[in-house]
Amino acid sequence: MHGNESAENYLETILVLSQRLPVVRSVDVATELNFKKSSVSVAMKKLRESGHIAVSPEGYITLTDAGKEIADCIYERHTLLSSWLTRLGVDPKVAAEDACRIEHVISAESFEAIKRHIK
């Protein structure tokens, strides 16, 4: 799945929402990302078919182990890169936006090197 920025963003959003809300629904994802519900429905179908999420009969979305693994990876990259850029003096909003772009394209090797350097 790595390399599919859109899917990674959806998985990361589901992870973040699951930490804030008792249940996550497509409408919550649409609201969080400011996307149309129809677009989110199509994406959720693809993620369900690829085995990255499960959807209950009530419409509650949960990450599968495979989906959680990707979401955790992307979220770790986002939080570390965002905080690092902020500490370098980048405006927090800009840092978060840049981290969102970088998190999808940085290699595992480069990310681990940055992580070692920061810590």
pLDDT per residue over 3-45, tens digit each? 588 999 999 999 999 999 999 999 999 999 999 999 999 999 9
Q: What is the mean pLDDT of residues 102-113?
A: 94
Measured CA to CA, the distance from residue 40 to residue 28 in angstroms comes to 10
User: Percent of the chain having pLDDT more than 70?
Assistant: 97
* pLDDT at 4 (0 to 100): 86
The number of folded domains in the chain is 2
Q: Which domain holds residue 26?
A: 5-64
The CATH number assigned to the domain holding 11 equals: 1.10.10.10
pTM for the whole thing? 0.89
Cα 8 to the chain's mean position, in Å? 5
